[in-house]
Structure 1
Amino acid sequence: MGIFSVTTWNVTMKRACYYILPPVVIIAYASITTLQKGQHSLPQAKSGLATQQEVMVSDKELSSNKKEHEYLAVNGNNSSNTTVVKGILPASWQGTRIDGRLKIDEAGHLIVEQQTKDLFDYFLSAAGEVPTEELIVKLQHYLTENLPSPAKEEGLSLLNDYISYRVELSNYQEQYANLHLNENAQEISDNLQQGYSQNNVEQLQTHFEHLYQLRRDKLGMDVADAFFGLQEEYDQYQLEKIKIAQNDSLSVAQKQAEYNRILDEMPTQVRFIVAPEQVMSQLSDINQQYISEVDRYQARSELLGDEAAQRLAALDKKREQWKSRLSTFRTMKAEIERSGLSTPDQQQAINQLLNDQFSHHERRRVAAIENINLP
């Protein structure tokens, strides 16, 4: 898959978010990785509220005398409505949650997005533990059981195209073993001192171009954009960094100016990973500049996409609700403190108020904020 393996790409993206970014930006990232510009229905259909299936692997322990295990597809949050698919459970799946998701639009068509590919890759990642043919059958069965028509037929057709792409990719990658293309682009950029010649860079550019065309030949433009668009933007950014670093005609200051230029030209999703502080700063500016919920939503949507804007709006509401609840508690607590009760009785009344107004987890948080001694 080009300079990134599936695992390397996911780990790189997730590490960048969960170890660098604050919670408000992490929430936005959860939506950004769906690659808003790459969501498509097959065939094109009127978009609408999508239904979503959350999938998880059974946490039943593996045992030598049980070859049959189950993984469950849970429709929404209704755990009683499940589809059980039998099969040998690879050890690497045990206790994990299936990556990706399936989404359909109001017309019943499959919405093709990055997370569709993630779902495919999750099943296929167990190759080596289980024969690939069996994994494909499992995935076909899963799609059949969990998608209504016409999304079911679209999903099966898409899987066939994706398998064909992966076969062609495997054959092609053997030609580029000398370029260490299993490393990710950031590692290549960080290790320039080990020596990438101009010829290497040109080969990498040719490699990217070939992958770009191969993906679109096998998957079509819309699906390739949905599956690989963000990755391709990031790969190209790293390649441009290599070219700038190797340009001896540029001074240090000029190189930095070029780095800034190519970063500014990248979509927000790439800048979110490469320079998260920029996105954080922009989000902060939006929060300060826009008082209206509508205006704030629009600005966030333009920066991060609709899904991220929706999540941030939901977070705003939760924060406002929390502030309101905390304010009410403080008012009632102040009334208790003015009631003339003895100190022990006040403490008991405040603790009772705390128990009535907040959950166990919330009580600990409020107690820390208000300096309350819990019993």
Structure 2
Amino acid sequence: MRVNRRRIATGFALVTLFAAAGIGAWRRGGDEPARAGDTTAEARGGPRSATRKISTPPVRRTETNVDTREKSPFKEKARSLRGTDEDGALRVGPDGSLLLGPEILRLFDYYFTTEGEESDETIRARILAAIRERASGPAALQAAALLDQYLAYRKDKDGLALPKDEEADPTARLEALKKLRRKHFGEETADALFGDEEREGEVAAEASRIRQDETLTADEQEQKVAELEASLPQGAREAREAATLPLRARAEADAMRAEGATDEDVYTKRVETLGVEAADRLAELDAQRAAWKARIEAFRKERDALAAKTQDEAAFKAAEQALLDRSFTPFEQRRVRATLAMSSK
């Protein structure tokens, strides 16, 4: 079974603001992106909130912005995306116009996870090819225009700096992002693309404030936080559940194994509480996590062996990098370094 890969950009904002992402799309493993003609707000891969038609300026037809559907020129996915299913979707209204929603950005972000592994030009070309496979006519041109807007936004976002006294304030960062988004997309488009995420961010910031309020008891804090979460749109609540379920399931599985439960016991329990499909996907996440840990451990052993027989520091660094290049993609290498840095503390 294959699972989706995504940036935790659209999960619950507690995860979005304060933790890494990547697991929020696990529940979409069996979904296929919606094709042209999907008009419902609940098209496969799309959100359950209201949608809006995109209003972008006319796009000049160029070689890369062809509005006829065609097969992707890329025969294989980037190495780090092999074995994964594409996340997100393009949805088209009855008149052939693109319908706006956060699922479009999930489609873009799926390919942006290969940054460092592939050039920016290649990533853009892959996304344009994905657009042409899923839409034609005005919708394809509008999606291509939106992609270039998103590229410009991402560049500005990477350079976004806050005053030193606001760097640790999630509310200040959210407000700065909201301002930047409306600069690039306009009010209506920004609301359609980022509105749910921004509402989640506001709820997360307020929940953090509540949990630090010493005038409230623990029960009062939890009650207020629950009321806040209940105010989120349905799509946002579902995204939160999707983003946090793997973490909660993992914690429950660890507790069961600590008491002597087997993998079969864990699977049976998940089937009883979550259903077969969810249990299968969680089992695959467990297998992927175990495989990743095994790769890290194998690299660690080889690196330690190199350190033991290499006296020169420069020679060791060169050998270590060569080992990294043989064992991991550029994208994976960042994870490896972060993992090893954390384990050394």
C-alpha change, 1:85 and 1:13, in structure 2 (3 Å) is: closer
Q: Does 1:229 align with 2:217?
A: no
Query: What residue is the counterpart of 2:122 in the other structure?
Result: 134
C-alpha change, 1:103 and 1:266, in structure 2 (3 Å) is: closer
C-alpha change, 1:13 and 1:135, in structure 2 (3 Å) is: closer
Assess if the C-alpha contact under 8 Å between 2:90 and 2:103 holds in 1.
yes
C-alpha change, 1:254 and 1:32, in structure 2 (3 Å) is: farther
Query: What residue is the counterpart of 1:85 in the other structure?
Result: 73
Query: What residue is the counterpart of 2:213 in the other structure?
Result: 247
- Higher strand fraction: Structure 1 or Structure 2? 1
1:88-167 aligned at under 5 Å gives the runs 89-144=77-132, 146-167=134-155
Taking the aligned partners of 1:273 and 1:106, their CA distance within structure 2 comes to 27
Assess if the C-alpha contact under 8 Å between 1:100 and 1:115 holds in 2.
yes
1:303-314 aligned at under 5 Å gives the runs none
1:166-205 aligned at under 5 Å gives the runs 166-172=154-160, 203-205=169-171
Calculate percent identity across the aligned residue pairs: 20
C-alpha change, 1:244 and 1:33, in structure 2 (3 Å) is: farther
Q: How many residues align?
A: 206
Query: What residue is the counterpart of 1:36 in the other structure?
Result: 48
Query: What residue is the counterpart of 2:286 in the other structure?
Result: none
Specify the code of the residue in structure 1 equivalent to 2:180: L
- Consecutive unaligned residues in structure 1, runs of 5 or more: 19-29, 45-80, 179-198, 277-375
Q: Give the TM-score, by structure 1 length.
A: 0.47
Specify the code of the residue in structure 1 equivalent to 2:131: L
Taking the aligned partners of 1:98 and 1:158, their CA distance within structure 2 comes to 19
Cα deviation, 1:133-170, whole Å, max 9, x if unaligned, reads 22112322443454322112211111111111110111
Specify the code of the residue in structure 2 equivalent to 1:95: G
**Superposition deviation, residue 9 in structure 1:** 4.5
Taking the aligned partners of 1:204 and 1:108, their CA distance within structure 2 comes to 39
Q: SS of 2:115's equivalent?
A: coil
Query: What residue is the counterpart of 2:224 in the other structure?
Result: 258
Cα deviation, 1:205-242, whole Å, max 9, x if unaligned, reads 11111112211221223332333222222222221111
Taking the aligned partners of 1:33 and 1:121, their CA distance within structure 2 comes to 14
C-alpha change, 1:221 and 1:8, in structure 2 (3 Å) is: farther
The structure whose Rg is larger is 1
- Consecutive unaligned residues in structure 2, runs of 5 or more: 1-8, 30-41, 57-68, 243-345
Taking the aligned partners of 1:201 and 1:250, their CA distance within structure 2 comes to 27
Cα deviation, 1:3-26, whole Å, max 9, x if unaligned, reads 738x944513647x99xxxxxxxx
Specify the code of the residue in structure 2 equivalent to 1:136: R
Taking the aligned partners of 1:4 and 1:275, their CA distance within structure 2 comes to 13
Taking the aligned partners of 1:145 and 1:39, their CA distance within structure 2 comes to 22
Q: Does 1:218 align with 2:184?
A: yes
Cα deviation, 1:254-293, whole Å, max 9, x if unaligned, reads 32332233233222334445579xxxxxxxxxxxxxxxxx
Q: SS of 1:111's equivalent?
A: strand
Specify the code of the residue in structure 1 equivalent to 2:121: E
Assess if the C-alpha contact under 8 Å between 2:72 and 2:129 holds in 1.
no
Runs of 4+ that moved beyond 6 A: 30-33, 199-202
Query: What residue is the counterpart of 2:249 in the other structure?
Result: none
C-alpha change, 1:202 and 1:132, in structure 2 (3 Å) is: closer
C-alpha change, 1:269 and 1:99, in structure 2 (3 Å) is: closer
Taking the aligned partners of 1:171 and 1:272, their CA distance within structure 2 comes to 31
Taking the aligned partners of 1:169 and 1:206, their CA distance within structure 2 comes to 14
Which structure has more relative contact order (CA 8 Å, sep 6+)? It is 2
Assess if the C-alpha contact under 8 Å between 2:52 and 2:192 holds in 1.
yes
Taking the aligned partners of 1:124 and 1:160, their CA distance within structure 2 comes to 13
- RMSD of aligned Cα (Å): 3.7
Specify the code of the residue in structure 2 equivalent to 1:232: E
**Superposition deviation, residue 126 in structure 1:** 1.3
Q: SS of 1:108's equivalent?
A: coil
**Superposition deviation, residue 31 in structure 1:** 6.5
Query: What residue is the counterpart of 1:284 in the other structure?
Result: none
